[in-house]
Structure 1
């Protein structure tokens, strides 16, 4: 196997294959910068050009796109508060406040360095577990997958700040919105009426862009000025961000490993991986007061996991022919174009191709991070340009990102509707991330609960994996409650200490 690993490196060093890998990285960066497109769109664009291409060059092109998008989608998340893709939603929580403080370059530098390390750890994990991954992946049945969805819901308390009730209401609303359309376990359509557009449910891209993009655009236009409130450290801010990541190296490693593990579970995808990791870092950190206000750790943790997960999603894709994400479904189609059958037989017949994919993943992360770091300073300058000059371009990008989903007029109508909802939620102090999490997990929770009950009746509740994940979810909830209690007590103590003595004596 070591010989195949080394041979694959020399195979990839062919000039044409390296050119395809670099082209994939460039396409991935361009697609990632545009909100709402994502790796699936980028891979779909190049799929027609794969026919007749060398298999090694073709997979290098696709892996280059898949690896670069999770890095480049950080740009809109940090600079505009708009999720570049489903995997960069949690980065907004602290990345955008940093940009508002004039620390956009620092946030980008930290994010790209964490992405690089996470991507390399993902590639290393994939190469290490290729011979041993089968029992690990097969250990997760529908009961464990259902409990993982509950684990995702358990972080809602973290994302709700000091408004847990409003966060719970938002999550319930998200779960309800997620039930619109075809039921995942039955041949019925709910809340769709005769409107064919709703039969497939609402698009995650439209919901995310509506909730997070349009409200920020409206508020920035109403406020006037630039995105950043003041300039600070733009010239060398990215170097500061690199140092931040290296200082929190164990945080990067921990969340990269978590990203690989979650990514290896088919069906979980990239939609929740950033939220789960953001919740974990917010719960386990000693100083939690800055999360949601511009804490660089809130950027490092989800970005590490987001890139590391690419190594995880490739495990079920290559070893079992089960796509770990929607982009990996495109990769499966490409492998079949090349006459390669994904599955356990790849470890014998096409082992060199497996390692070419691993090398492509590692090199694409290096190339992508280097390019993004070069772009971070000039692109970060956009945060100091008066926003009314940038707003028309951003609005067009958001509209195109929503329109490309189905090219139906209802795409724009629902984008506007969720934009209004997001603006009202922001004005009323109701947190928006819990609604998005509830929407994402609605279909998954229903599907896995139905499968668990029909396969195991209620005995699935006694499975060791279910009990372990359930205990972790309870621990997160308890820690969240204790965190809020301690925060409230500290705030009251600070307020009491700052109250003048004359005020205290004048009180009845």
Structure 2
């Protein structure tokens, strides 16, 4: 472990003391507040947050600007679970898998338990991602440089193969849905050759079909139509009070600590790979929990608390992992970090 010498520890201590100055902590808190507010709004992602905050950073102290932007980006995947759990509407592409068990828990009257489990697992996953970031940053350069087109293809094939694990007793439906997703993803410009695929004469399609409108149409519209037809609340009987549900969610997260640890490590590793976004990470983590958790095949998608713990732990751990290529090579791991890397 020659990387972790006295110079490395001194640099880490200097960075911590630089960040903990009062004026920079204020900007960090401001960025976190903005990120939480943006995450509550379905369809509003990190790029909108950067568009709002980046103009303020041009004359700011670089450390304060970095803290503000990073604080905003890190919590968007935390607050977007509120619309996902309460309304079945993913606040961001990274919270799609949370809907599968979060909404059934809300319909059972366990919304407070589901939200508490999401937040506690997100906290634990974020800490796991931070630890992995601190340990792997000096060692990650050979790993990231070794990832090329074959490795990206294998990860893509692995992500598509997870459909078979999530389809249960109807694998044909899963295959059809995966093929439909691939066809939709092919619309736009081929980044390798510049060729236009299935765009016609529509300029809007040259950039491809955005993922957020698709998931809002798939998840949000059916749920809104159902509520409008029934004219009733989502939950008929509340199982827990707010305090009891929050306590139970925390207990559930600690009870499934090994699942949080596995999914957190998985999310951090996937986050370190440029191009792997939260829309992929949460499904892989959900599929991993489905295959490894005891009795998951019978209880998942029906309101199992482990179905919200696994993707949320992976999503927040991914934030730490995604900083590895950004800080090592200046390569943003996801679309919403270009300004951080430029900074």
Deviation at 1:161, TM superposition (A): 2.7
- RMSD between aligned alpha carbons? 1.1
What SS is found at the alignment partner of 1:90? Answer: helix
Give the corresponding residue for 1:221.
228
Q: Is the 8 A contact 1:104 1:234 kept in 2?
A: no
Listed one character per residue, the Cα deviations across residues 215-238 of structure 1 (whole Å, up to 9, x for unaligned) are: 110011112211113211032201
Q: Is the 8 A contact 1:313 1:328 kept in 2?
A: no
**What is the distance in 2 between the residues matched to 1:294 and 1:109?**
14
What SS is found at the alignment partner of 1:327? Answer: coil
2:305 matches 1:296: yes
Listed one character per residue, the Cα deviations across residues 461-486 of structure 1 (whole Å, up to 9, x for unaligned) are: xxxxxxxxxxxxxxxxxxxxxxxxxx
Q: Is the 8 A contact 1:40 1:330 kept in 2?
A: no
Deviation at 1:185, TM superposition (A): 2.3
Give the corresponding residue for 1:57.
64
Listed one character per residue, the Cα deviations across residues 82-110 of structure 1 (whole Å, up to 9, x for unaligned) are: 11111111101111111111101000000
**What is the distance in 2 between the residues matched to 1:266 and 1:154?**
20
Q: Is the 8 A contact 1:314 1:328 kept in 2?
A: no
2:321 matches 1:277: no
Structure 1 counterpart of 2:79, from 69, 72, 75 = 72
Structure 2 counterpart of 1:6, from 7, 13, 16 = 13
Structure 1 counterpart of 2:252, from 240, 244, 252 = 244
Q: Is the 8 A contact 1:245 1:252 kept in 2?
A: yes
Give the corresponding residue for 1:268.
276
2:140 matches 1:149: no
Q: Is the 8 A contact 1:31 1:42 kept in 2?
A: yes
What SS is found at the alignment partner of 1:35? Answer: coil
Deviation at 1:140, TM superposition (A): 1.8
What SS is found at the alignment partner of 1:186? Answer: coil
Deviation at 1:158, TM superposition (A): 2.5
Give the corresponding residue for 1:133.
140
**What is the distance in 1 between the residues matched to 2:338 and 2:33?**
21
Which consecutive residues of structure 2, in runs of 5 or more, have no partner in the other structure?
1-7
Give the corresponding residue for 1:91.
98
Deviation at 1:293, TM superposition (A): 0.4
**What is the distance in 2 between the residues matched to 1:125 and 1:44?**
29
Structure 1 counterpart of 2:322, from 313, 317, 329 = 313
Listed one character per residue, the Cα deviations across residues 49-73 of structure 1 (whole Å, up to 9, x for unaligned) are: 0011011111110111111111101
**What is the distance in 2 between the residues matched to 1:214 and 1:234?**
29
TM-score with structure 2 setting the length: 0.95
Deviation at 1:183, TM superposition (A): 2.0
Listed one character per residue, the Cα deviations across residues 91-134 of structure 1 (whole Å, up to 9, x for unaligned) are: 01111111111101000000000000111111111111121111
Give the corresponding residue for 1:361.
none
**What is the distance in 2 between the residues matched to 1:260 and 1:266?**
12
**What is the distance in 1 between the residues matched to 2:225 and 2:165?**
27
2:174 matches 1:201: no
> Is the radius of gyration larger for structure 1 or structure 2?
1
